[in-house]
């Protein structure tokens, strides 16, 4: 009877921990606008169908699995909720998975405590609400660890299949999936040596080894790598050479400062809370070494080996602590076991001093456990709560809303190379805005085209020129993101790999009737400057001439093969320019303007063939024309 009541109490606690995991992962999931990396995640996921997504992302740091999941969820919408949904679901599932590992390998109470600590951890919550694949890395890695330990005990087909699937999913998710595989491989080697070595006789006995275990592990890993065969060239090139997405990386220092920062993120931040968590973790690890040697061994390898590998390898790609999010659940598992151990020790001391109260209705161990768990959780809650409200460095959703409200179809939206892709999220149809790269030459060209310009600058180039020619839009007007490069929440710093964006505006004071284009300097084919309109792009200018008489639009364009143009005025098609030959001669063509076109209007030139068209001059003038060319 009492055993049944205790089992029901434990099960209730598990479901409460799971519910807490759901709440912490989904609370205010759409409370923040998407920041840069999240928009890239969604944008790249939606640019092609599912099969092309798998084929496109076959090299680090971007592997296809999480892009596929985001592509599926964003079919329902592009709000932050749908973009972040895969991370939130997998982050939630990590909580009961950690409980299962704790229950099977240590005890149920440890599983519950560890699951609760993980559910309210600021580091876990932050990445469970981030669209990038780091919460997924933690879940797939922990799932692989679960089946790996099960295979060590009982290499059944079910455990083999679970290990194979978890490892394959991890390989398709993130480059650091190699770290759990390496840790499990070393753990398997140590386990094998322990079974080979016959201590009493000090000799090796192959007959004592249950060979089904290493065979199951090796075949599972080989099968996973065969399943991930399309990715292996990307893995190899990234490891052996300088891979894509690489930046100049500082040396990886396995220093006290680095370990303090990393394990502070895993726990409740730095300071006294770090000391408490590390001590509890060491106590839990020591207790496991006495009672659960296999778990202690694998846990040590899981926490230490990836750091040692990075220190020895000195990776060329920059190291970001979130890549090691998969280590956090194992660390908290030992912290939980330490809490249970210290609680039992305190209960034993309490019974010594208060023997009269040591009755069946009062459990010193339970009271001590609840008190200690509360003390350990207390420093987690404030930063976890603050993480829901602190803004990402740039809220691109708010930025897009501001541009949609204030930028017209006749305005130009420009940005540096990084921002161009983000603007595609704001304006998925390229024809709606002349989105251009934001280096200085196109910006000067835009100024001479009679266009109002919105320029998003992130790299800090041309600051003096921008201040002289543009007006900065105050950040509190267009964006609500945190101005700090590193968003801080209590003792936590969650690095976001982008700079603070600045929005600049230029409003033209004089719309001309004639524009001489000089985007490119004279060359062998032209004694004057010109603009080249590339494949499937839009070139926009704004002209002005009162409609008091019939007007024509005159273009000075070049006869060159493939240099055809479609001409639109205020969105209305008015004609085509077709080259007569490939003589590279310049000639003027005229198009009649419809009478309903106003005094100021937008001219758009589209080029669709394989070769760019060239234009030297665009002009509106009073003249009657009976036909367009």
Domain positions in the chain: 2-387, 396-506, 514-622
Across the range 572-578, mean pLDDT stands at: 90
Question: What pLDDT shows up at residue 186?
Answer: 95
**pLDDT higher for 61 or 628?**
61
Contacts (Cβ under 8 Å, ≥6 apart) of 391: 32, 480, 481, 482, 487
Question: What pLDDT shows up at residue 272?
Answer: 84
The band of 148, judged by pLDDT with boundaries at 50, 70 and 90, is very high
**pLDDT higher for 261 or 3?**
261
Across the range 381-390, mean pLDDT stands at: 83
pTM of the full structure: 0.84
**Between β-strands 600-607 and 537-544, what pairing exists: parallel, antiparallel or unpaired?**
antiparallel
**pLDDT higher for 356 or 477?**
477
**CA torsion sign, 91 to 96 to 99 to 101?**
negative
**Between β-strands 412-415 and 203-204, what pairing exists: parallel, antiparallel or unpaired?**
unpaired
Tokens 């998969």: give the residue: 326
Question: What pLDDT shows up at residue 283?
Answer: 95
Across the range 148-168, mean pLDDT stands at: 95
- Residue 358 and residue 351 in contact, taking contact as beta carbons nearer than 8 Å: yes
CA nearest neighbour of 328 among 287, 391, 380: 380
Contacts (Cβ under 8 Å, ≥6 apart) of 484: 393
Whole-angstrom Cα distance, residue 459 to residue 504? 13
Question: What pLDDT shows up at residue 120?
Answer: 93
Helices assigned H by DSSP within 197-322: 212-227, 232-240, 256-266, 272-291, 293-313
Helices assigned H by DSSP within 30-175: 36-46, 50-56, 64-73, 80-105, 108-119, 122-128, 134-153, 157-171
**pLDDT higher for 243 or 538?**
538
- Residue 481 CB: number of other CB atoms within 10 A? 23
Residue 200 has pLDDT above 80, yes or no: no
Question: What pLDDT shows up at residue 510?
Answer: 84
- Residue 540 CB: number of other CB atoms within 10 A? 21
Question: What pLDDT shows up at residue 243?
Answer: 47
Mean pLDDT rounded to a whole number for the chain: 82
> What 3-state DSSP class applies to 473?
strand
Question: What pLDDT shows up at residue 431?
Answer: 40
**pLDDT higher for 142 or 4?**
142
Pick from 12-26, 171-185, 267-281, 334-348 the range whose average pLDDT is largest. 171-185
Token code pair at residue 535: 């494949």
Question: What pLDDT shows up at residue 248?
Answer: 52
Question: What pLDDT shows up at residue 226?
Answer: 95
Residue 530 has pLDDT above 50, yes or no: yes
Helix, strand, coil shares, percent, the chain, to 5: 55, 15, 30
The band of 486, judged by pLDDT with boundaries at 50, 70 and 90, is very low
Q: What percent of the chain has pLDDT over 90?
A: 38
CA nearest neighbour of 53 among 39, 43, 68, 38: 68
Whole-angstrom Cα distance, residue 262 to residue 291? 28
Strand order across the 565-569 sheet? 537-544, 600-607, 565-569, 572-577
The band of 136, judged by pLDDT with boundaries at 50, 70 and 90, is very high
- Residue 563 CB: number of other CB atoms within 10 A? 22
Residue 14 has pLDDT above 60, yes or no: yes
Residue 232 has pLDDT above 80, yes or no: yes
Which DSSP string corresponds to 4-36? HHHHHHHHHHHHHHHHHHHHHHHTTTTSS---H
Question: What pLDDT shows up at residue 256?
Answer: 87
| 439 DSSP assignment | S
Question: What pLDDT shows up at residue 430?
Answer: 47
Q: Per-residue pLDDT tens for 517-526?
A: 888 888 887 7
The band of 487, judged by pLDDT with boundaries at 50, 70 and 90, is very low
- Residue 607 and residue 534 in contact, taking contact as beta carbons nearer than 8 Å: yes
| 106 DSSP assignment | T
**Dihedral (Cα; 283, 285, 290, 295), 10-degree rounding:** 160
**Dihedral (Cα; 145, 149, 155, 161), 10-degree rounding:** -20
Pick from 105-109, 182-186, 578-582 the range whose average pLDDT is largest. 182-186
* C-alpha of 157 from chain center: 35
Question: What pLDDT shows up at residue 459?
Answer: 65
Question: What pLDDT shows up at residue 365?
Answer: 61
Does domain 514-622 bear CATH number 2.60.120.260? Answer: yes
**CA torsion sign, 552 to 555 to 559 to 561?**
negative
The band of 209, judged by pLDDT with boundaries at 50, 70 and 90, is low
Q: What values do phi and psi take at 603, rounded to 5?
A: -105, 130
The band of 495, judged by pLDDT with boundaries at 50, 70 and 90, is low
Whole-angstrom Cα distance, residue 593 to residue 550? 7
Contacts (Cβ under 8 Å, ≥6 apart) of 612: 532, 533, 534, 535, 562, 563
Which range among 108-122, 274-288, 441-455 shows the weakest confidence by mean pLDDT?
A: 441-455
Question: What pLDDT shows up at residue 433?
Answer: 47
CA nearest neighbour of 546 among 627, 589, 601: 601
The band of 202, judged by pLDDT with boundaries at 50, 70 and 90, is low
Q: Per-residue pLDDT tens for 26-46?
A: 999 988 888 888 888 888 888
């Amino acid at each position: 009877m009492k055993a049944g009541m205790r089992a029901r109490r434990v099960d209730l606690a598990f479901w409460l921990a799971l519910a807490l995991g759901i709440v912490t992962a989904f609370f205010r999931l759409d409370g923040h606008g998407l920041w840069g990396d999240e928009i890239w995640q969604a944008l790249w996921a939606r640019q092609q169908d599912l099969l092309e997504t798998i084929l496109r992302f076959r090299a680090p740091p971007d592997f296809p699995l999480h892009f596929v999941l985001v592509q599926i969820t964003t079919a329902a919408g592009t709000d932050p909720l749908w973009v972040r949904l895969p991370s939130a679901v997998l982050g939630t599932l990590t909580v009961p998975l950690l409980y299962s590992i704790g229950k099977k390998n240590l005890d149920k109470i440890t599983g519950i405590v560890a699951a609760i600590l993980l559910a309210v951890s600021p580091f876990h919550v932050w990445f469970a609400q981030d669209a990038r694949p780091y919460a997924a890395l933690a879940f797939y890695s922990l799932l692989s660890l679960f089946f790996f330990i099960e295979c060590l005990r009982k290499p059944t087909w079910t455990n083999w299949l679970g290990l194979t699937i978890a490892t394959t999913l991890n390989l398709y998710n993130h480059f650091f999936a190699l770290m759990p595989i390496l840790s499990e491989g070393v753990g398997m080697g140590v386990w094998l040596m322990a079974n080979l070595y016959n201590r009493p006789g000090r000799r090796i006995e192959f007959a004592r080894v249950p060979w089904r275990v290493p065979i199951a592990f090796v075949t599972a890993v080989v099968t996973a790598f065969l399943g991930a065969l399309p990715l292996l060239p990307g893995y190899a090139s990234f490891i052996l050479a300088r891979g894509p997405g690489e930046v100049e990386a500082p040396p990886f220092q396995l220093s006290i400062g680095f370990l303090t920062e990393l394990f502070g993120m895993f726990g409740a931040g730095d300071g006294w809370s770090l000391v408490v968590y590390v001590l509890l973790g060491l106590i839990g690890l020591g207790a496991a070494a006495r009672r659960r040697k296999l778990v202690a061994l694998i846990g040590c390898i899981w926490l230490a080996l990836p750091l040692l590998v990075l220190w020895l390898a000195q990776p060329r790609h920059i190291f970001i602590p979130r890549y090691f999010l998969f280590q956090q659940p194992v660390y908290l598992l030992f912290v939980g076991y330490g809490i249970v151990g210290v609680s039992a020790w305190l209960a034993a001391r309490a019974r010594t001093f208060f023997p009269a109260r040591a009755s069946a209705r009062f459990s010193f161990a339970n009271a001590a456990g609840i008190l200690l768990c509360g003390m350990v959780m207390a420093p987690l809650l404030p930063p976890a709560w603050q993480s829901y409200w602190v803004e990402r460095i740039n809220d691109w959703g708010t930025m897009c809303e501001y541009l949609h409200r204030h930028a017209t179809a006749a305005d130009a939206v420009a940005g540096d190379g990084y921002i161009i892709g983000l603007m595609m999220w704001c304006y998925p149809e390229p024809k709606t805005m002349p989105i251009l790269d934001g280096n200085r030459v196109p910006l000067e060209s835009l100024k001479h085209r009679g266009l109002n310009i919105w320029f998003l600058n992130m790299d800090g180039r041309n600051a003096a020129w921008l201040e002289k020619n543009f007006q900065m839009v105050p950040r509190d007007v267009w964006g609500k993101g945190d101005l700090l490069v590193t968003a801080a929440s209590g003792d936590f710093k969650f690095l976001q790999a982008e700079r603070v964006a600045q929005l600049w505006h230029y409003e033209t004071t004089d719309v001309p009737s004639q524009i001489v284009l000089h985007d490119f300097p004279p060359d062998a084919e032209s004694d004057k400057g010109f603009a080249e309109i590339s494949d499937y792009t839009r070139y926009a200018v704004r002209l002005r001439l009162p409609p008091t008489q019939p007007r024509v639009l005159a273009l000075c364009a070049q006869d060159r093969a493939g240099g055809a143009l479609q001409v639109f005025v205020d969105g209305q098609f008015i004609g085509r320019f077709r080259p007569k030959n490939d003589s590279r001669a310049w000639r003027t063509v005229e198009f009649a303007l419809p009478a309903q076109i106003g005094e100021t209007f937008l001219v758009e030139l589209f080029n669709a063939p394989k070769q760019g068209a060239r234009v030297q001059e665009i002009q509106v003038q009073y003249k009657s024309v009976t036909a367009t060319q």
